[in-house]
Structure 1
Amino acid sequence: MDKKLFIIVVLAFFLRFYLLSVIPVGFNPDEASFGYDAYSILKTGKDQWGYSWPLVLESFGDFKSPLYTYLAMPSVAMFDLSKFSVRLPNALLGTAAVYITYLLVTVLQKDIKNRSPITDNRSLASIAALLLAISPWHIMMSRGAFEANLTTFLLPLGIYLFLKGLLKPKFFIGASIIFGLNIFTYHAAKLVTPVVLVSLIIVFLKDLKKFKRKEIVFPVIILSLFLTVFAYTLFQGSSTRALDVIIFKSSLGASASERLNDTLSGMPDFLARLLHNKFQVSVLRLANNYLQYFSPLFLFSQGPAEGTYGMIPGRGVLYWFELPFLIGALAFILERRLNRYFLPFLVWLLVAPIPAALSTGPGYAANRGVVILPVLQIFLAVGFVKCLSFLNNGFLKSYKRLISIPFLFFSAYLFVMFLDDYFIQSPYKTAKARNYGNLEVAYWLNENAADKDEIVVSTKLSEPHIYIAFAKKWDPKSYQEATSAWRYQELGLGWLDQMPEYKLGNYIFRPINWVSEDKDRFLVGKPEEFPENLSQKIIVSYPNNDPAIYVVTPQKHEYAKTY
Structure 2
Amino acid sequence: MTPRRRARWTTAVVVVAVLIVVRNLAGLDSAPLGAYVDETSIGYNAWAISTHAVDEHGAHLPLYFTAFGEYKNPVYIYTLSALLKVLPLTVVTERLPAALFGLLVCLFLTLIAWRRSRSLPVTLMALALLGATPWLTVESRVGFEVISMLAAVSGALWCLSVAQDGGRLRWYVGAGCLLAVSVFAYSTGRVAVALLVVALAVAEITGARRLLRGWLISLVPVAGAYALLWAWNLSHPGALLARFNIISITADHAVLSTVIGRFAGNYLTYFGPEFLFIQGDHRARQATQFGGMLLWVTLPLIAAGVVAAWRQRGQPFMRFIVLGTLAAPVSAALTQESVPHALRASLMLPFLLVLAIEGMILLRELTPTWRRAAATGAGLALLVQGVLFTVDMYATWPARSALDFDAGEIDAITRASAMSSGAQLLLSNTLDQPYIQAAFTFRPMPPSSLTDDSAGPLLGAMNMALVDPAMPPARPGAIAVLSSGDPVPPGAQRLFDEVTPAASFALGSKPTQYETIVVYRLR
- CA 1:417 to 1:244, structure 2 compared with 1: closer, same or farther past 3 Å? same
Alignment-derived partner of residue 518 in structure 2: 550
What residue is the counterpart of 1:131 in the other structure?
129
- Counterpart amino acid of 1:486? D
Q: Distance in 2 between matches of 1:297 and 1:337?
A: 29
Indicate if the aligned counterparts of 2:34 and 2:407 stay in contact, CA closer than 8 A: yes
* 1:104 Cα deviation from its structure 2 partner: 2.8
Equivalent in the alignment of 2:508: none
1:537 corresponds to: 495
Q: CA deviation at 1:421?
A: 1.2
Q: TM-score, normalised by structure 1?
A: 0.80
Aligned amino acid, residue 366 of structure 1: A
Report SS of the residue matched to 1:346. Answer: helix
State the alpha-carbon separation in 1 of the partners of residues 379 and 160 from structure 2.
Answer: 36
Residue in 2 aligned with 1:192?
192
Give 1:550 deviation, angstroms. 0.8
Q: What's the CA shift string for 1:396-447, capped at 9, x where partnerless?
A: x57965x765664443221111012110001111101111112222322343
Q: Does 1:249 align with 2:254?
A: no
CA shift for structure 1 position 546: 3.1
Q: Which residue of 1 aligns with 2:437?
A: 467
In the TM superposition, 1:217-236 aligns within 5 A as: 221-235=220-234, 236=236
Alignment of 1:458 onto 2:428: yes
| Preserved contact between residue 4 and residue 126 of structure 1 (Cα < 8 Å) | yes
Contact 1:62 1:241 in 2 (8 A): yes
The residue aligned with 2:67 is 59
Cα 1:193–1:95 change in 2 (3 A) is same
TM-score by length of 2: 0.86
Amino acid at match of 2:156: G
Q: How far did 1:516 drift?
A: 6.0
* Correspondence 1:209 to 2:212: yes
User: Do 1:324 and 1:387's aligned partners in 2 also have CA atoms closer than 8 Å?
Assistant: no
Aligned residue type for 2:223:
S
Aligned to 1:432: 403
Q: Distance in 2 between matches of 1:121 and 1:196?
A: 29
CA distance in structure 2 between the aligned counterparts of 1:410 and 1:148, rounded to whole angstroms: 29
Aligned-pair CA distance for 1:28: 0.6
> Is the CA contact (8 Å cut-off) linking 1:527 and 1:550 kept in structure 2?
yes
CA distance in 2, matches of 1:366, 1:406: 28
Corresponding residue for residue 361 of structure 1: 337
Q: AA paired with 1:430?
A: S
CA RMSD of aligned residues (A): 3.0
For 2:29, what is the secondary structure of its paired residue?
Answer: coil
Distance 1:341 1:361, change over 3 A: same
Partner of 2:465: 508
Residue 174 of structure 1 corresponds to: 174
Report the count of equivalent residues.
495
The alpha-carbon distance between structure 1 residues 338 and 380, as it changes in their structure 2 partners (threshold 3 A), is farther
Q: Tell me if structure 2 keeps the 8 A contact 1:149–1:371.
A: no
Shift of 1:6: 2.6
Match of 2:507 in 1: none
Q: CA deviation at 1:207?
A: 5.1
Return 78-87 or 234-243, whichever deviates more: 234-243
CA displacement 1:127-146 (0-9 Å, x = unmatched): 33332121111011111111
- Displacement of 1:322 in angstroms is 2.6
Deviates more, 1:241-250 or 1:133-142: 241-250
Q: Secondary structure at the match of 1:551?
A: strand
Q: Which of residues 240, 243, 246 in structure 1 aligns to 2:242?
A: 240
Is 1:375 the equivalent of 2:339? no
The match for 2:384 is 413
Partner of 1:281: 258
SS of equivalent to 2:169: coil
Which residue identity does 2:251 align to in structure 1? Answer: K
Distance 1:335 1:516 in 2: 72
Q: Distance in 1 between matches of 2:22 and 2:267?
A: 33
Quote the residue 1:154 is aligned against. Answer: 152
When structure 1 is superposed on structure 2, of 34-43 and 171-180 the one drifting more is 171-180
User: SS at the partner of 2:56?
Assistant: coil
Q: Alpha carbons of 1:92 and 1:515: their partners in 2 closer, same or farther (altered >3 Å)? A: closer
Could you tell me how far 1:193 is from its partner in structure 2? 1.7
Match of 1:45 in 2: 53
Give yes or no for contact 2:494–2:518 (8 Å, CA) kept in 1: no
Tell me which amino acid in the other structure corresponds to 1:225.
G
| Alpha-carbon distance in 1 for matches of 2:433, 2:485 | 18
Q: Deviation at 1:29? A: 0.7
**2:3 paired residue number:** none
Q: State the one-letter code of the partner of 2:360.
A: F
Specify the code of the residue in structure 1 equivalent to 2:300: P
CA drift of 1:126 comes to: 4.0
The structure with the largest helix share of the pair is 1
Q: Is the 8 A contact 1:446 1:472 kept in 2?
A: no
Q: Are 1:34 and 2:42 counterparts?
A: yes
Q: Secondary structure at the match of 1:227?
A: helix
Give the match for residue 320 of structure 1: 296
Percent sequence identity over aligned pairs: 20
Aligned counterpart, 1:307: 284
> By how many angstroms is 1:343 displaced?
0.7
Query: Which amino acid letter does the alignment assign opposite residue 212 of structure 2?
Result: K
AA partner of residue 289 (structure 1): N
Structure 1 distance, partners of 2:418, 2:370, is 69
Residues 457, 549 of structure 1: CA spacing in aligned structure 2 closer, same or farther, 3 A cutoff? same
Return the alpha-carbon distance in structure 1 between the equivalents of residues 272 and 130 of structure 2.
Answer: 20
Once the two structures are TM-superposed, the CA of residue 475 in structure 1 deviates from its matched residue by 1.6
After TM superposition, the structure 1 stretch with the greater mean CA deviation from structure 2, 407-416 or 227-236, is 407-416
CA contact (8 A) 1:523 1:552 kept: yes
The 3 A distance-change label for structure 1 pair 534 and 422 is farther
Q: State the AA in 2 paired with 1:474.
A: P
Matched, 1:79 2:81: no
Paired residues of 2:160 and 2:317 also in contact (CA < 8 A) = no
Query: Is residue 57–residue 446 contact of structure 2 (8 Å, CA) maintained in 1?
Result: no
Please give the alpha-carbon distance, in whole angstroms, between the structure 2 residues aligned to 1:341 and 1:404: 25
Aligned mates of 2:435, 2:152 — CA distance in 1? 32
Residue pair 2:197, 2:219 contacting (<8 A) in 1 also? no
CA contact (8 A) 2:129 2:382 kept: no
**What is the CA–CA distance in structure 1 between the aligned matches of 2:81 and 2:294, rounded to whole Å?**
33
Give 1:42's aligned amino acid.
Answer: S
Deviations, residues 77-132 of structure 1 (Å, cap 9, x unaligned): 2111111111111111111211111223444x2xxxxxxxxx54554444333321
Question: Could you say which structure has the larger radius of gyration?
Answer: 1
Aligned residue number for residue 413 of structure 2: 442
Contact 1:65–1:238, Cα closer than 8 Å, also in 2: no
Q: Which amino acid aligns with 2:344?
A: R
Q: Provide the C-alpha distance between the structure 2 equivalents of 1:530 and 1:124, rounded to a whole number of angstroms.
A: 60
Q: Which runs of 5+ in 1 are unaligned?
A: 110-118, 256-277, 488-495, 556-563
The residue matched to 1:248 in structure 2 has which SS?
coil
AA at the equivalent of 2:227: T
Q: 2:475–2:522: 8 Å Cα contact kept in structure 1?
A: no
Paired amino acid for 1:412: L
Whole-angstrom CA distance in 1 between matches of 2:216 and 2:380:
51
Runs of 5+ unmatched residues, structure 2: 1-6, 503-512
Using the TM superposition, give the Cα deviation of residue 484 of structure 1 relative to its aligned residue in structure 2, in angstroms: 2.7
